[in-house]
């Protein structure tokens, strides 16, 4: 099914790409509702440029696909990003950074390793045992990581400077013209007191600031969903409203 022209798309892309809509399926965030997604294939010429434009229009990447919610009577999934130039680290943020001062971030090529996969399985079995990734095999993970048609990398976070230092956290991250898009993160659940998920977002914000990149894209925020509520803690937070990004208000 072709993506409806009434949806917000970057100028010209609705003519150069084919967009489709999935069949309805149970919403993973709001019980009792059903979701649909619009999607297109990123394995096309000039994929990085297209990916940049689609990201600014609220799309996310999964392997070779860019997708966006397309639910006819629901707009609960809102694209959010952190404007890094305006972001100020709070006292709690600085404590989280201090707790993880010994972690070393290393960018590596977007290729799967058995070490990463072991960490992912431990994370999923502890945090999302009934989720769609619980049955993921190593081959599935290798496809998820290595199948990106756009500029993507992996940030490995090790508890020490050596290659054999324990791997505690991983972020699969897309590199955009205007910032980082955090595609998927996972970490050692036994290190919960360190707040590794929170720390990785803060580290991406700090790294973007150091590189002069204005945004860190966090995916979708869903009001009323405990799974997504944590994203509100990063202030200011911008939300895509129609075709314009604006600051999310405290009363929303």
In a domain, 142, yes or no: yes
Question: Tens digits of per-residue pLDDT, 92-129?
Answer: 999 999 999 999 999 999 999 999 999 999 999 887 65
pLDDT at 9 over 90: no
In a domain, 96, yes or no: yes
Inter-residue contact 36 to 72 (CB < 8 Å): yes
Taking residues 205-218, what's their average pLDDT?
98
pLDDT at 7 over 70: no
- Domain range for 102 is 91-174+183-196
Q: How confident is the model at residue 147 (pLDDT cuts 50, 70, 90)?
A: confident
In a domain, 100, yes or no: yes
- Other Cβ atoms less than 10 A from the Cβ of 120: the count is 21
Most confident of the following: 196-205, 224-233, 240-249: 196-205
Inter-residue contact 184 to 178 (CB < 8 Å): no
Number of domains composing the chain: 1
Taking residues 194-208, what's their average pLDDT?
97
**What average pLDDT is seen over the chain?**
91
Taking residues 217-246, what's their average pLDDT?
92
pLDDT at 137 over 80: yes
pLDDT at 146 over 70: yes
Task: Report the sign of the C-alpha dihedral through residues 193, 197, 203, 209, in that order.
Answer: negative
In a domain, 155, yes or no: yes
């Amino acid at each position: 099914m072709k993506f409806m022209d009434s949806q917000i798309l970057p100028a010209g892309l609705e003519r150069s790409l084919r967009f489709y809509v999935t069949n309805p399926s149970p919403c993973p965030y709001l019980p009792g509702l059903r979701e649909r997604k619009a999607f297109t294939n990123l394995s096309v010429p000039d994929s990085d440029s297209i990916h940049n434009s689609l990201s600014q229009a609220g799309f996310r990447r999964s392997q070779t696909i860019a997708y966006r919610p397309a639910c006819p009577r629901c707009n609960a999934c809102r694209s959010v990003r952190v404007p890094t130039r305006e972001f100020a680290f709070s006292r709690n943020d600085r404590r989280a950074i201090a707790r993880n001062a010994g972690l070393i971030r290393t960018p590596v090529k977007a290729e799967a390793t058995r070490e990463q996969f072991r960490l992912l399985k431990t994370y999923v079995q502890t945090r999302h045992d009934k989720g769609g990734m619980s049955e993921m095999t190593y081959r599935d993970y290798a496809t998820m990581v290595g199948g990106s048609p756009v500029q993507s990398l992996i940030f490995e976070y090790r508890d020490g400077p050596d290659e054999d230092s324990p791997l505690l956290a991983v972020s699969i991250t897309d590199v955009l013209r205007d910032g980082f898009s955090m595609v998927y993160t996972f970490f050692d659940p036994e290190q919960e007191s360190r707040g590794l998920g929170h720390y990785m977002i803060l580290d991406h914000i700090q790294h973007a600031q150091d590189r002069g990149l204005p945004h860190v894209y966090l995916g979708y925020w869903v009001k009323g969903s405990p799974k997504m509520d944590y994203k509100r803690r990063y202030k200011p937070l911008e939300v895509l409203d129609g075709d314009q990004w604006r600051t999310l208000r405290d009363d929303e």
